[in-house]
Chains A and B, each alone.
Chain A
Amino acid sequence: MKRLIELCVNDETYELAVEPNAILAEVLRDQIGLTGTKVSCGTGECGTCTVLMDGRPILSCLALAVDCQKQSIITIEGLAVGEKLTTVQQAFHDCGAIQCGFCTPGMVLSTTALLEVNSRPSTREIQKALEGHLCRCTGYNKIIEAVQQAAEQMPPKAK
């Protein structure tokens, strides 16, 4: 039987009727229409479906939509304001850390979450934060460069 849930996605509240077995990625893509969240393996190995839930990077292909009741979710569509890219998105763009782009939404969201808690990550810390993302095109070097560049360009946080 479907259940009514309330989801806050990119600062907008949605009321949805979902089956208990509906996964968050399906709901985001098919019911809300935010197809920036990609689904590849569907079993939590590749990281393309990563979204931020309360600031934490999680795998939307392994999260039940009903478990996300009243949670605040940020997808890739929630980052840029109009045409203006975030520092992380701009850094990925500038460093050419994109080829086919399928892994990029997840990578950008994970990087955003990383820089939120660690403004000067070491290469090892970047690798650990992005280890759950598979990219079959770039060879990862440019992605790590992009994260480092984003960290340097990040405006200092107000204290």
Chain B
Amino acid sequence: MHLPKFEHLYPPSIKEAARLLKKHGSNARLAAGGTDLFPRMMHGLTQPEVVVSLKGLSIDSADSSGVTEGSELHLNALMPLADVARLAAVRQSAPLLAEAIVSVGSNQIRHMGTLGGNICLANRCAYYNQSHTFQFVEPCFKRHGNRCYLIPKGKKCVAVFQADTVPALICLDAKVEIIAADSSRQLLLEKLYTGDALKPLALSQDEIVGKVIVSKPKPVRGTAFSKFSLRGGVEFAALTVAVCLDMVDKGENCAAARITVGSVAAGPVRARKAEKTMAGEMLSDKLFKEIAAIVAGEIHPVMHHGYSIPFLKECLIAQTYRTLVRAAERAG
């Protein structure tokens, strides 16, 4: 498909990229792997005059491997997803992230798309993410209108956030380092998502996610990730569930649990009630069933991409149960 015309800039550093974003304001878009931005540009969903490319840049020039280890794992957000999943440090300290990455898009997309790009993926919806070139209908919320074509009486945009790596990273308590033109800050990844489909990321125009920081795991930890989609490949998720169980007492009791569900709302959702119920409990099949029911009770999925709410609820129960069982097996 044809890509509309734009001016293409190659800044020499991330800071310079942030400066360019500030200078060009809303006319500029950032491209790392381009696997999300370019299809949207081809569909006419975004028409930037300037594309600021992050190709060939690294966060620290000294750090060519893209990962530095210490008490925490610092991952270069510009690394392609496939490279992140292959890193020995990630496989050892954050297998949950590697498991989530393997479910993203296709093999080629994992080689092109970057970790930072997946974290900042645009929210999607079955109506909006198509070509609007020949549509002469009233615009929806996302196109600055005041209606929703999926939920006719809807009062707000319901586009969902479908990045697979994010629920996994939230379970691992990840932080992101955000680089701006003249400052940088760290933010808990969970706080990056506003829950507003029209402005899903708590980033200003000139801010770039530069690093992802994951803490090293507790001694006994079991993690699991599952993604449900109809075809099982090259598809955005109907829902994703990530579970992280930190164990005590020789791996029998759960000290703390983290359960994050993705693709069911404008941002990833933590199942806090279920996490609280699980803390201090002994793992058992009965407990997993109970927790799955609590998760489905506290999370309210929005209808998206042809998946109805009752279907997503049933799916959430099944997927949460299966993911908990797998995480518990790995903790043992």
Contact = CB atoms under 8 A, between A and B. Distances in A.
A20 B108 contact: no
A130 B232 CA distance: 13
Interface residues of A, number: 31
B5 A19 contact: yes
A64 interface: yes
Interface string B89-113: 0000000000000100111110110
Given A131-B234, A132-B234, A20 B111 contact: no
Contact of A47 (B8, B53, B108): B108
Nearest to A60: B108
Given A43-B39, A56-B82, A62 B111 contact: no
B8 A64 contact: yes
A45 B8 CA distance: 24
Nearest to A130: B107
B107 A132 contact: yes
Contacts of B6: 20-21
B107 A129 contact: yes
Nearest to A131: B233
Interface in B1-17: 1, 3-8
B234 A62 contact: no
Nearest to A129: B107
Given A43-B42, A45-B234, A132-B108, A62 B35 contact: yes
Q: Which of A42, A62, A132 has the most CB of B within 10 A?
A: A62
A157 to B, nearest CB: 18
Given A43-B39, A45-B234, A58-B111, A132 B7 contact: no
A21 B34 CA distance: 12
Contacts of B233: 127-128, 131-132
Contacts of A59: 35, 108-109, 112
Contacts of A56: 80, 82, 111
B107 A44 contact: no
Interface residues of B, number: 28
A131 B82 CA distance: 14
A150 interface: no
Nearest to B103: A128
B39 A62 contact: yes
A72 to B, nearest CB: 15
A129 B55 CA distance: 24
Nearest to A3: B8
A62 B80 CA distance: 15
A110 B107 contact: yes
Interface in A2-35: 19-23
A62 B112 contact: yes
B39 A44 contact: yes
Interface in B107-161: 107-109, 111-112
A58 B83 CA distance: 13
B140 to A, nearest CB: 21
A22 B4 CA distance: 9
A64 B107 CA distance: 19
A20 B39 contact: no
B34 A63 contact: yes
Interface string A74-116: 0000000000000000000000000000000000001000000
29 contacts: A19-B5, A20-B7, A20-B51, A21-B5, A22-B3, A23-B38, A42-B1, A44-B35, A44-B38, A44-B39, A44-B109, A47-B106, A50-B108, A56-B80, A56-B82, A57-B111, A58-B108, A58-B112, A59-B35, A61-B1, A64-B3, A127-B233, A128-B102, A128-B233, A129-B107, A130-B107, A132-B108, A132-B233, A132-B234
Interface of A: 19-23, 41-45, 47, 50, 56-59, 61-64, 66-67, 110, 127-134
Given A21-B5, A44-B39, A131-B106, 16 more contacts: A20-B6, A21-B6, A21-B8, A41-B1, A44-B35, A44-B109, A57-B107, A58-B108, A58-B112, A62-B35, A62-B38, A64-B3, A64-B53, A129-B107, A131-B234, A132-B106
